Each structure stands twice: as C-alpha cells, then as structure tokens.
Structure 1
Amino acid sequence: MDALRSIAKTWKGKKTQEGAGVSLKRVFGYYEVRDMDPFLLLDFFGSSNPEDYIAGFPWHPHRGIETITYMLKGRVRHGDSLGNRGVIGPGEVQWMTAGSGIIHEEMPEGSEGNLAGFQLWANLPAQDKMMYPRYRPIASDDIPIVRTTDNSTVRIIAGEVNGIRGPVQDVVTNPQYLDVSITAKGSFSHRIERGHTAFAFLFEGKGTFDSNHTDVIDAETLVLYSDGDCVSITPSNGGMRFLLISGKPIRESIAWRGPIVMNTDEELEIAFEEYRKGIFLKAK
C-alpha cells in the first residue's frame, strides 16, 4: 500500500539582495542544505518595479552545480563563457550545468515593468563536478502540459505525469520539476519515488498539502515533505499554483562559498585561486 507523504516542515522565504542589487526572496539556501539534498538554493523573484531587478547579475563564475532558471513574467538575457547567448522568456527554462566551470551573466528585462521567476540550484555529485559544462535553453512550447481528470494542469519541466515526460531527462539526481495549477474544485495527487527529497513551493493561492492534516498553507510558503510514495494537494477558497520538485539525495560532503560548491575546502580554495589567476575555465 502506498504511503502518503506528510508535511515535515514549512517556512517562508527571506528577503535579500543578490547580484548587483536584485531584490528577491531566498526560499532556502545554505542553512537548509541538510534538509534539501540534492538541492542547494531556491530564489523567487517578482516585482513590478524595475529598480528591484534591473541591475541584474553581471559576469560571475559557477563550478560544481546546476542552475535552473524558470521565468513566469518578463525576460532574462543570458551570456556565458562558452559563447552561448539567449533570452529566457515567460514559460521558458534555462538548465545550465556549470560542471568544471562557467562564467556567465543574467540580466533581467521586465515586461511592462513586471518580472517574476525562480532560480533553483542543484548539487552535482563528486564524480560529475568537473564534467564539461552545458547550457540547455528550453522553449515554452517544448514543455509538455498535462490536464488531469482532477482539474489540475501540470507543466512538466522534468519528471513524468500520466506517462508524459518533461524535456530534461538525463540528470543524475533524477529530478522532478513540475509547475502545477489547480482549479477551485480540483485536487492533485502524484507519486514521488521513495527516498527522494521532495518539496513544494506555493506561490499563488492557498491550500492543504497533506490530506491527513487540515492546516491551510498560504502563498509564498515552502512545504518540505517526509518520506513516502505520493503527495495529495487540495486548494482552499479558490485555485492555487505551486512548484513540486523532488530528487535523489547525493549524501556527500559540501564545501560552499558564494557561486561555487565543491566537496572539500581544498577544492574550494583551488577553484577561487584559479579564478583569481584567470585559469578557472577548463572548457572554452
């Protein structure tokens, strides 16, 4: 018999600034990393005031991680040391594997002043931290949409719903990344592999995330699940929209400073020393 995942913890993101002064909410990060393995960080950015985001994220390095940017509103212009150039628009995803090292910039451009989206960082296991970097732009039309019989609509960035798979399928932590909308009278149930870390981030509406508990979760709340086989989610007083993300834990030591995440302090020092000396990039 399938075991329903219960809520282990909930919390709100904290306001902060990153890059050259971009205002955002850090949903989780350095201090929550033990609970979130293989995920490292989730930022939620959203504003109708260009002063909150226009300074952007000028050129900076990454090594040892993947960054996943998902836009809801507005655009982010991207460039990197591999020569990739592009714009991430509404409904689009950039899945970037920094691997051995990449230097890039991300410069937001609001649409009529509005900008909203997410950036998720996922860790890489030791054997893949120095892999060749790759940049994968995913157009909105390439993200499958599934409409269930329970009045929910799911955009599948990674993972599988009703036999339909998302475009990202070759990541070692076997992630699921779903954008789920439920109508006022709908619900959503979904299987998640036992042993995988799973969380939801509610960014519109409110609802219950555990059918055994009636506590209503409101918007901009993260729900971390305990282990089990499936989740059950129901809106309260209207529709709701949330990210549902899961992945296989790596269970390795983490040495993390700024944009670089390795396994040991020595590896971290080497990375920053290489950056200072101009020999950081292994792939050109």
Structure 2
Amino acid sequence: MTIERTEPKSGRVQQTRAVERIVTGQATSDGAGVKLTRVLTQPLQRRLDPFLMLDAFRNENPDDYLAGFPDHPHRGFETITYMIAGRMRHRDSAGNEGLLENGGVQWMTAGRGVIHSEMPEQEDGVMEGFQLWLNLPAREKLREPWYRDFDAARIPSFQTADGVDVRVIAGESHDVAGAVTRDATAPLYLDVHLPAGGRFSQPLPPTHNAFLYVYRGDASVAGEALGEQQMAILANDPAADGVVIEAGAQPARVLLIAGRPLNEPIAQYGPFVMNTQQQIQEALADYRDGRFGAH
C-alpha cells in the first residue's frame, strides 16, 4: 500500500550533494548472451564501495534474453535483482527457488558459495530490470548463504505531497523502512518516480558513497542534467546533508543508491569477490572440487 504524506523532518535536505561525475552505461552481454547495460563497472568499485556492479536490462526481443543466466557460482557478496517487467525463475544449490515478477526483488547473499540460475519464464514481451552487487565485509564473506524473495506488494512505498512515488527496497526514506537492512554497509536503495517538474529530497550521511541512475526521462541534481541511461556519482561533501533530485519537462524514474564504504581490499575474479588473491584461489579450488554444491 502506498501512503501519501507531507515531507517529514527526516526527509529535509538543507544542502544537496553535487554531481562529481556522469557515467554512461556500456552495452554488453552476460549469462548465455543476455543483452544488458553495465552501469557500475569494475574500475568504479573503489569509488563506490561497497557496491561492485550495477547492470540494467531492457529487452523487447526474446532472442536477447531467452537464454537467461544458466548455472553459475558466486562467493563473497550479495546480489539484489529488481524486476520492472517480465518473469525470472531463480534456483540455487542451497535449495531455494522463487519466481521474480513485475516490481519484485530477489535478495541473495552468496556468502561462502552458491551456484544459481536465473531463467526467463516468458517467450515474448518486455524483460526489464536491474541487478546490483553489494560487497560483504571480510568477516561475513564465508557466512552461510541466504535468500529471500519479495513480491511487489511487500516492497514498502510512499507518495510525497508533491506526487513523487518512492519504493524503498533497502534502508529508510522519509520514515519508511525498506524491505532489507544491513548493519555493515547500511545500504539505501530507492526507486523514485517523479512527475514532470517533480522534486525529491533524500538525506544521506556525508561519509556514504552514493549514486543515482536515470532509467526513464531526464533529471537533474544541483543544476547538472542527466539523461536516460546515465549514472551520476554524487560528491562526498561534508557540508552536504543529502541529495535533491528534480525531474525535467517529462516524468522521470531514478534509482538512488547509497551505502557505507567497507574500506577493505577488493580482489575479484569473475563471480568471486574476496579480499586477497589467495582467497580467490581457494574459491576457485572449492568450486572446481564441488564444494559449492549443485542443483
């Protein structure tokens, strides 16, 4: 249920962060040839710690998505998959299975290791969504895997007095707690739908790394214009207490993502993200020797 509200004190921003850099997503493919846009790439991992990757996909041609993402391993981080349109079936080696549909979120903690597949359950129509990779602190990288599905009705949401609709996937916004919280990284993950000329304010701790991604229309932050499929890395300014996002002449849809940096070494080899190269070698050996399980 969406609640209409005036802006609470906890939603006010006195000084917005500025845009440090604008990044345009790169067209690529993953899985068994699924076409997607990679927005947060490996060279940005240190700057946007604790986030490791953001992929956006919007395909209307079934040939671009039907092969899906067959069995593949992960270790050392979390994946958050958010579907806008379409249906995707998840299965993993921990025995979890779920169907991700319009507006739903799948949150998976790979921990010490999991093998999973994500396969479309449709033969035509639009398939659209996002996958975000969130790092785990060193002490949790070998924890037990965890998985949870949230259908659209279970994602908390609210509407501001200005008609902005906000879905709170993680963290807290305007006194509304999201579906998931994490102590170490304190992630904020919002899907913000702004009407034409609409304005949305979100407080942010000055030490948190933050970025936003425009996936419909255009928007601006501190006078910096952002077009569709552009990401804005927000400056870490001790004097700024949050961000103010404004839509242009057309409605806009924006992902706003922020988190507490771990400030730990990052060692990545494909689907394994650890702290040292030795740990990567251990992950490869465990996977090769069947210690991740199979389904």
TM-score category (smaller protein): over 0.9
> Residue by residue, what CA displacement relative to the aligned partner does 1:219-271 show, whole Å, maximum 9, x if unpaired?
00001101231101111111100100100000111110110100000000011
Q: Secondary structure at the match of 1:36?
A: coil
CA distance in 2, matches of 1:2, 1:272: 48
How many aligned positions are there?
280
Which aligned pairs between 1:42-121 and structure 2 lie closer than 5 A? 42-110=54-122, 112-121=124-133
Q: CA deviation at 1:65?
A: 0.5
Which aligned pairs between 1:1-284 and structure 2 lie closer than 5 A? 2-110=14-122, 112-210=124-222, 213=223, 215-227=224-236, 228-281=240-293
Amino acid at match of 1:25: T
Between the aligned residues of both structures, percent identity stands at 45
Q: Secondary structure at the match of 1:268?
A: helix
CA distance in 2, matches of 1:207, 1:276: 46
Q: CA deviation at 1:137?
A: 0.6
Instruction: Note if contact 1:75-1:111 (Cα within 8 Å) is conserved in structure 2.
Output: no
CA distance in 2, matches of 1:256, 1:37: 13
> Residue by residue, what CA displacement relative to the aligned partner does 1:44-102 show, whole Å, maximum 9, x if unpaired?
01110010011111111100000000000001110001111111000000000000111
> Residue by residue, what CA displacement relative to the aligned partner does 1:177-221 show, whole Å, maximum 9, x if unpaired?
0000011132101101120011000000012122xx2x3211000
CA distance in 2, matches of 1:77, 1:71: 11
CA distance in 1, matches of 2:47, 2:249: 31
CA distance in 1, matches of 2:135, 2:180: 16
> Residue by residue, what CA displacement relative to the aligned partner does 1:4-30 show, whole Å, maximum 9, x if unpaired?
211011111101111111110100121
CA distance in 2, matches of 1:170, 1:78: 22
Q: CA deviation at 1:280?
A: 3.4
CA distance in 2, matches of 1:94, 1:254: 24
CA distance in 2, matches of 1:173, 1:242: 21
Q: Secondary structure at the match of 2:258?
A: strand
Instruction: Note if contact 2:62-2:123 (Cα within 8 Å) is conserved in structure 1.
Output: no
Q: CA deviation at 1:171?
A: 4.5
CA distance in 1, matches of 2:292, 2:95: 16
Q: Secondary structure at the match of 1:31?
A: helix
5+ residue gaps, structure 2, are 1-12
CA distance in 1, matches of 2:103, 2:214: 17
Instruction: Note if contact 1:178-1:244 (Cα within 8 Å) is conserved in structure 2.
Output: yes
Instruction: Note if contact 1:146-1:161 (Cα within 8 Å) is conserved in structure 2.
Output: no
Q: What TM-score comes out, normalization by structure 2 length?
A: 0.91
Instruction: Note if contact 2:102-2:152 (Cα within 8 Å) is conserved in structure 1.
Output: yes
CA distance in 2, matches of 1:11, 1:235: 18
Instruction: Note if contact 1:109-1:115 (Cα within 8 Å) is conserved in structure 2.
Output: no
CA distance in 1, matches of 2:219, 2:95: 44
Q: Secondary structure at the match of 1:8?
A: strand
Amino acid at match of 1:59: D
Amino acid at match of 2:158: V
Q: Secondary structure at the match of 1:202?
A: strand
